[in-house]
Every structure is written in C-alpha cells, then in structure tokens.
C-alpha cells in the first residue's frame, strides 16, 4: 500500500494520542475497545499528494446520519480503528490510520496506517 511520510508535528500528535490511550488502558478508564478517538490534523499535515488514486478509497455505505458533514471535505484526521482496543494504540499504525475525507465528503482515502 502507498503511504505518505508524516511530518514531525503529525508524528507528535499521534504519539500524544498513543500515550493517552495507554493511560486510559492502564488506569482501567476505558474498557475493551474504549470508544472513538480522533484528532484533526488538517492544519499541521502539510502537502497532500495531488493524485490520491494510489491510496485506498473507502466510500460510506449509507447516507443520512452516517454521512460526513459537507464542511469536512478535504480534512485530515488520525482515527482509532473500529473494533481496535485502546491499548493497541501503542502501535498507532496498526490500531489507527490517517485519513483524508474526499472532496465530496462521501468517503475517505487512507493515507497512513490501517494495519499496513
């Protein structure tokens, strides 16, 4: 899978999420999967590849309540994977991913992680 190289600001933010996940797990404040964790990286991400065809593109399966807000188009997030345990954020590239919401806000491209 093609992946982007993360800049130091993005790596630092993902490390903070990983550290917070470990604290939550060690203190037993999060059970099993621990819910969702996401961080908006849009402002610090830097250059996005102009051609995203080499990156996995996932379309939303339904519309309505599960649709992305139109304002989120083009935003970049680090997210914990569905069903991943919060303790597994110690290896964020396996338990989460960096994704970019597509220009129509009806899907996303996985830029990094996701169990590479």
Domain count, the chain: 1
For residue 65, give its domain range.
8-113
Helix (H) or strand (E) holding 8: helix 8-26
* pLDDT at residue 116 in the model: 60
Segment 73-90, tens digit of pLDDT: 999 999 998 888 888 888
88-102: average pLDDT: 92
Nearest to 102 by CA among 66, 68, 61: 68
Kindly tell me the burial class for residue 103, based on how many C-beta atoms sit within 10 Å of its own C-beta (0-12, 13-18, 19 or more): exposed
Give yes or no for a contact between 92 and 86, defined as CB atoms under 8 angstroms apart. no
Whether the predicted pLDDT of 72 surpasses 70? yes
Q: Is residue 66 part of a domain?
A: yes
Residue 2 lies in a domain: no
Structure pTM? 0.86
Structure tokens that stand for 64 in this block = 């309505």
What's 65's domain CATH number?
3.40.225.10
């Amino acid at each position: 899978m093609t992946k982007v190289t993360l800049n130091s600001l993005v790596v630092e933010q993902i490390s903070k999420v990983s550290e917070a996940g470990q604290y939550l797990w060690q203190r037993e404040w999060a059970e099993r999967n621990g819910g969702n964790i996401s961080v908006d990286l849009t402002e610090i991400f830097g250059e996005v590849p102009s051609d995203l065809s080499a990156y996995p593109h996932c379309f939303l399966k339904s519309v309505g309540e599960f649709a992305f807000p139109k304002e989120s188009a083009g935003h970049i997030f680090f997210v914990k994977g569905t069903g991943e345990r919060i303790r597994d954020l110690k290896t964020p590239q396996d338990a989460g991913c960096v994704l970019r919401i597509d220009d129509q806000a009806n899907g996303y491209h996985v830029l990094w992680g996701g169990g590479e």
